[in-house]
């Protein structure tokens, strides 16, 4: 497992104060030279992940919450699909958080996500999350106004308050056995342009193209600042941010799989022990089954 740690350690942020996005290269591959090499390691890791998830499920104590945030076309969906491909679907739930509905806007902003946190033994994946509340909502002030908060509560402290509440929420989940790992897929502006062009030019990718995504690109700088500040305030030891290079999809997937494996490995998972009484019961049932004629 040492290898998994080596691949991903340098992207893991557990203390945000000094975090600067410019120190992280979206095209980095941490010495992994080719797509082919990455894919062969990934294939083995996906198998390992499947074994670990089975134990997580059997043990029924810990839950794992994986949060994915990124600019459009950074590869969130593909990464989730590939990394979780070997995992038993019964032990895993994926939730995508889009623009909030009117019912959701009638509640506090953690309401819709708290309902979706994983139960014991399970892996929960958030494709976007409550972090949108300090990203898109910050970049576009009309979204904050749409939240119908009492006017007195909208002050210049609102973003600091949100960081504080998110940290408290994550600490609460952690204290209840939900292990949290957060991934920011760090794609460059040039690579995003390339991927948008592919969506326009390749008929098989046309369906993925969205006008809204191109419009958001105009706010690139605002988003980068919002991401940087978000990581500065919400990277903690128990709920770290992984700033994953996302210009090479094959490396993104390998790094995410490695982070998840390392996390599960630290939990020291094992199949639950069966006590003496239960063992006797199992032996008796076995003997009974063997003695039956048909």
Q: Which residues lie near ligand ATP (CB under 6 A)?
A: 72, 77, 96-100, 127-128, 132-133, 136-137, 143, 210
- In whole angstroms, the minimum distance from the beta carbon of 212 to Mg ion comes to 7
Residue with the shortest CB distance to Mg ion = 72
The smaller minimum CB distance to ligand ATP, of residues 100 and 240, is found at: 100
Question: What does 124 bind: ligand ATP, Mg ion, none (CB cut-off 5 to 8 Å by kind)?
Answer: none
User: Collapsing DSSP states into helix, strand and coil, what is residue 78?
Assistant: helix
- In whole angstroms, the minimum distance from the beta carbon of 127 to ligand ATP comes to 6
Question: What does 132 bind: Mg ion, ligand ATP, none (CB cut-off 5 to 8 Å by kind)?
Answer: ligand ATP
| CA–CA dist 294, 289 (Å, integer) | 9
Please report which residue ranges of the chain form alpha helices under DSSP H: 2-8, 35-59, 76-83, 102-105, 111-114, 136-139, 141-145, 158-175, 189-201, 211-217, 220-234, 249-266, 276-291
Phi/psi at 119 (5° precision): -80, 165
Sort residue 248 into left (φ over 0), alpha (ψ -120 to 50) or beta: beta
Question: What does 137 bind: ligand ATP, Mg ion, none (CB cut-off 5 to 8 Å by kind)?
Answer: ligand ATP
Question: What does 99 bind: Mg ion, ligand ATP, none (CB cut-off 5 to 8 Å by kind)?
Answer: ligand ATP
CB atoms near residue 273 (< 10 Å): 7
Question: What does 136 bind: ligand ATP, Mg ion, none (CB cut-off 5 to 8 Å by kind)?
Answer: ligand ATP
The smaller minimum CB distance to ligand ATP, of residues 28 and 133, is found at: 133
Question: What does 243 bind: ligand ATP, Mg ion, none (CB cut-off 5 to 8 Å by kind)?
Answer: none
User: Collapsing DSSP states into helix, strand and coil, what is residue 18?
Assistant: coil
The residue ranges that bind Mg ion (CB under 5 A) are 72
| CA–CA dist 262, 282 (Å, integer) | 34
Residue 40: C-alpha distances to residues 49, 85, 250, 253 (Å): 15, 15, 10, 12
Phi/psi at 241 (5° precision): -95, 135
Residue with the shortest CB distance to ligand ATP = 132
- In whole angstroms, the minimum distance from the beta carbon of 104 to ligand ATP comes to 8
- In whole angstroms, the minimum distance from the beta carbon of 72 to Mg ion comes to 5
Q: Helices H, strands E: what count in the chain?
A: 13, 6
- In whole angstroms, the minimum distance from the beta carbon of 77 to Mg ion comes to 9
The smaller minimum CB distance to ligand ATP, of residues 97 and 111, is found at: 97
- In whole angstroms, the minimum distance from the beta carbon of 63 to ligand ATP comes to 22
The smaller minimum CB distance to ligand ATP, of residues 126 and 251, is found at: 126
Cβ density class 148-186: b for 16+ within 10 Å, e for less? eeeeeeeeeebbeebbeebbebbeebbeeebbbbbbbbb
The smaller minimum CB distance to Mg ion, of residues 165 and 213, is found at: 213
Q: Are 252 and 25 in contact (CB under 8 A)?
A: no
The smaller minimum CB distance to ligand ATP, of residues 55 and 209, is found at: 209
Question: What does 198 bind: Mg ion, ligand ATP, none (CB cut-off 5 to 8 Å by kind)?
Answer: none
Q: Which two tokens stand for residue 60?
A: 């029924």
The smaller minimum CB distance to ligand ATP, of residues 133 and 247, is found at: 133
């Amino acid at each position: 497992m040492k290898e998994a740690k080596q691949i991903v350690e340098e992207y893991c942020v557990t203390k945000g104060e000094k975090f600067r996005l410019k120190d992280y290269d979206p095209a980095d591959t941490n010495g992994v030279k080719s797509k082919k090499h990455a894919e062969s390691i990934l294939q083995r890791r996906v198998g390992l992940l499947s074994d670990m998830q089975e134990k997580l499920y059997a043990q029924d104590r810990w839950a794992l919450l994986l949060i994915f945030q990124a600019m459009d076309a950074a590869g969130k969906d593909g990464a989730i699909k590939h990394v979780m491909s070997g995992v038993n679907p019964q032990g895993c739930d994926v939730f995508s958080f889009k623009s909030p509905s009117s019912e959701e806007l009638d509640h506090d902003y953690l309401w819709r996500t708290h309902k979706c946190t994983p139960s014991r033994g399970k892996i929960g994946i958030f494709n976007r999350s409550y972090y949108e509340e300090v990203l898109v909502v910050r970049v576009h002030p009309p979204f904050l106004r749409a939240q119908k908060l009492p006017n007195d509560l909208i002050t210049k402290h609102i973003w600091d308050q949100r960081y504080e509440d998110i940290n408290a929420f994550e600490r609460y989940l952690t204290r209840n056995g939900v292990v949290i790992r957060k991934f920011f897929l760090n794609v460059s502006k040039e690579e995003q342009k390339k991927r948008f062009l592919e969506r326009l030019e390749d008929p098989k990718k046309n369906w993925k193209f969205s006008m809204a995504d191109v419009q958001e690109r105009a706010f690139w700088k605002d988003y980068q600042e919002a991401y940087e500040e978000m990581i500065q305030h919400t990277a903690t030891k128990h709920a770290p941010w992984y700033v994953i290079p996302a210009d090479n999809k094959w490396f993104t997937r390998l790094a995410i799989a490695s982070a998840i494996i390392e996390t599960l490995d630290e939990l020291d998972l094992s199949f639950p022990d069966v006590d003496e009484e239960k063992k006797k019961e199992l032996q008796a049932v076995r003997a009974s089954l063997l003695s039956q004629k048909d």
